Amino acid sequence: MLPIDVNRFLSTFHSLTNIGWTEEGVMRLALNEYDVKVREELIKILSSIGSIINVDVAGNIRGESDDCTLIGSHMDSVPYDGKYDGFYGVIARLEILRSVKDLNITTNIQFH
């Protein structure tokens, strides 16, 4: 089993899911100012762990590490959604990449 840094996971999750958070829920609609901001923050994090960043014409972000498996989820929300919809999957997969890097494991993982 791959060890996960729970504190880093939670810190990243709360930091990123607070972008677009209101008392009524998340308002991170596709390509609104909050969705753009959280995308920029995710790209910074992926870049900091050495991922090669690619954004396709549909706005999908790929942080490539080696070249085989794709993992991912979504970060946008419906109006006044909860913090866990989609975003939990994004942060879980990010933490997998971070843990793999921390342990110097060679893989074929791509963040998507």
At 44, the amino acid letter reads: K
The model's pLDDT over 34-53, given as tens digits with 9 standing for 90+, comes to 999 999 999 999 999 888 88
The pLDDT assigned to 18 comes to 95
pTM above 0.95, yes or no: no
Structural domain boundaries in the chain: 6-111
Mean local confidence (pLDDT), 46-64: 87
Cα 93 to Cα 69: distance, rounded to the nearest angstrom: 12
Cα 52 to Cα 105: distance, rounded to the nearest angstrom: 17
The pLDDT assigned to 68 comes to 43
**Residues 97, 101, 104, 109, CA torsion sign:** positive
Q: For domain 6-111, say whether CATH 1.10.10.10 is its number.
A: no
Measured from the Cβ of residue 43, the count of other Cβ atoms closer than 10 Å reads 15
Q: By three-state DSSP, how is residue 60 classified?
A: coil
